[in-house]
């Protein structure tokens, strides 16, 4: 059986890209290389002195683990070496990273990323991930990128994807022509095609939410949780609760099996916890391409939100279409939305 690698598939599809000069292909391939390097480090995290905190606090006020910094550095270096990425917005950097060498200044693309998502799971050998989103810059090439290049709605994404460092390492990406998944074969060091067209079920039996925050959730979400827990043979309820605490891992499982992931607003996080630019938008793009849905608590499409801040947060409802619609119905009825 012929094995197709990530690079082969990217090249094969190049002609279908809207701006087919090979630039986007190069960018995606470099992301694939950085992912392999990060995967290698994640896999030996328990063996070497890379675990633990650096002692720094990131822009969100959270502790930074060494592997977060490592992943951030790797992805920035990989994007810089493409010469076509003019700037980066990362969860780990307060401000945008301007790539100002001569080649990069003329780059047409900018990248938003969460280099290592689910950081609280690094120390405990639980799946973590990388999330990325690619846009064409809106500022003039040849000049340093500005914040405006990054504050574009998700519907302007040219490509997006994630890497999950789990029992195996997988990469899922889209350029708007469906979602495709690859699995890293460590013996040959290549991401091998797993599913050319990833499709998510329209209904599912899994709900994923941090139920510990139950009493902080809006009434509609609490009622939806009760709905998930009720017994009803026709709709295969009760559903199973599955929550890893790594967005990529929770989303990936639900994508394949059918399910809903919700991170709503809470008393502690009035806009939810997850970040629009580099967590919600890329995941929403993959979800929609797979036939799923991604909205905020009011049912507004995530990818149509015009961002105003780099690290903006948004309540996030994503997954199987019918489940997301149901959750929003409950919000409309009980949360006054
Ligand atoms: P991080 O970017 O600091 O890792 O935080 C994001 C993570 C997501 O992966 C996950 O969905 C969420 O935080 C879990 O948060 P909580 O522990 O509040 O349930
Ligand atoms: Mg994150």
DSSP states of 296-310: -TTS-BGGG----ST
Query: Which residue, by CA, sits nearest to atom 6 of ligand 1?
Result: 118
DSSP state of 60: T
Q: Cα(253) to centroid of ligand 1, in Å?
A: 16
Q: What is the pLDDT of residue 23?
A: 87
Q: Cα(91) to centroid of ligand 2, in Å?
A: 7
Q: Contact, 299 vs 337, CB < 8 A?
A: yes
Q: Which fold has domain 6-198?
A: Fructose-1,6-Bisphosphatase; Chain A, domain 1 (3.30.540)
Atom of ligand 1 nearest to the CA of 274: 6
Q: What is the pLDDT of residue 65?
A: 58
Of the chain, the end-to-end C-alpha distance in Å amounts to: 52
Taking the CA of 248 as reference, the closest ligand is 1
Q: What is the pLDDT of residue 119?
A: 83
Q: Contact, 87 vs 108, CB < 8 A?
A: no
Instruction: Give per-residue pLDDT as tens, 248-288.
Output: 999 999 999 999 999 999 999 999 999 999 999 999 999 99
Q: Contact, 96 vs 240, CB < 8 A?
A: no
Taking the CA of 252 as reference, the closest ligand is 1
Atom of ligand 1 nearest to the CA of 58: 3
9 lines ligand 1 (CB under 6 A): no
Q: Cα(246) to centroid of ligand 2, in Å?
A: 8
**DSSP states along 6-47:** HHHHHHHHGGGSTT-SSHHHHHHHHHHHHHHHHHHHHHTTTT
Q: What is the pLDDT of residue 18?
A: 57
Q: Which fold has domain 206-334?
A: D-Maltodextrin-Binding Protein; domain 2 (3.40.190)
Q: What is the pLDDT of residue 335?
A: 76
Pairing state between β 85-90 and 109-117: parallel
Residues in the chain where the model's pLDDT stays below 70 = 16-20, 45-58, 60, 62-65, 337
Model pTM score: 0.94
Cα distance between residue 29 and residue 176, in whole Å = 17
Query: Which residue, by CA, sits nearest to atom 15 of ligand 1?
Result: 245
Q: What is the pLDDT of residue 41?
A: 87
Query: Which residue, by CA, sits nearest to atom 2 of ligand 1?
Result: 117
Q: Cα(224) to centroid of ligand 2, in Å?
A: 25
Q: What is the pLDDT of residue 284?
A: 99
Cα distance between residue 166 and residue 125, in whole Å = 9
Phi, psi dihedrals of residue 273, rounded to the nearest 5°: -105, -30
Q: What is the pLDDT of residue 337?
A: 61
| Domain ranges, ordered by start, for the chain | 6-198, 206-334
């Amino acid at each position: 059986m012929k094995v197709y690698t990530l690079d082969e598939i990217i090249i094969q599809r190049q002609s279908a890209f809207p701006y087919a000069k090979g630039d986007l292909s190069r960018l995606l391939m470099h992301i694939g290389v950085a992912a392999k390097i990060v995967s290698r480090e994640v896999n030996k995290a328990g063996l070497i002195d890379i675990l633990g905190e650096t002692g720094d606090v990131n822009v969100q006020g959270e502790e930074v683990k060494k592997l977060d910094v490592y992943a951030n550095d790797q992805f920035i270096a990989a994007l810089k070496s493409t010469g076509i990425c003019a700037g980066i917005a990362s969860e780990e950097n307060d401000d945008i990273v301007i790539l100002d060498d001569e080649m990069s200044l003329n780059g047409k693309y900018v990248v938003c990323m969460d280099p290592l998502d689910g950081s609280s799971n690094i120390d405990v050998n639980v799946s973590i991930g990388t999330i990325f989103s690619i846009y064409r810059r809106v500022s003039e090439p040849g000049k340093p990128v500005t914040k405006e290049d990054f504050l574009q709605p998700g519907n302007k994404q040219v490509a997006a994807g994630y890497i999950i460092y789990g029992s195996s390492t997988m990469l899922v990406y889209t350029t708007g022509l469906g979602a495709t998944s690859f699995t890293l074969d460590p013996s040959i060091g290549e991401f091998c095609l797993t599913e050319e067209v990833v499709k998510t079920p329209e209904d599912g039996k899994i709900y994923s939410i941090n139920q510990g925050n139950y009493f902080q959730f809006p009434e509609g979400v609490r009622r939806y949780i009760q709905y998930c827990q009720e017994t009803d043979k026709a709709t295969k309820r009760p559903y199973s609760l599955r929550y890893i605490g790594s967005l990529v891992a929770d989303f990936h499982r639900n994508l394949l099996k059918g399910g809903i992931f919700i991170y709503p607003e809470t008393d502690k996080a009035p806009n939810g916890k997850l970040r629009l630019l580099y967590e919600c938008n890329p995941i929403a793009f993959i979800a929609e391409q797979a036939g799923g849905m991604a909205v905020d608590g009011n049912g507004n499409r995530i990818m149509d939100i015009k961002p105003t801040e780099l690290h903006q947060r948004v309540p996030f409802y994503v997954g199987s279409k019918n489940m997301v619609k149901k959750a929003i119905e409950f919000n409309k009825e009980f949360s006054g939305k």
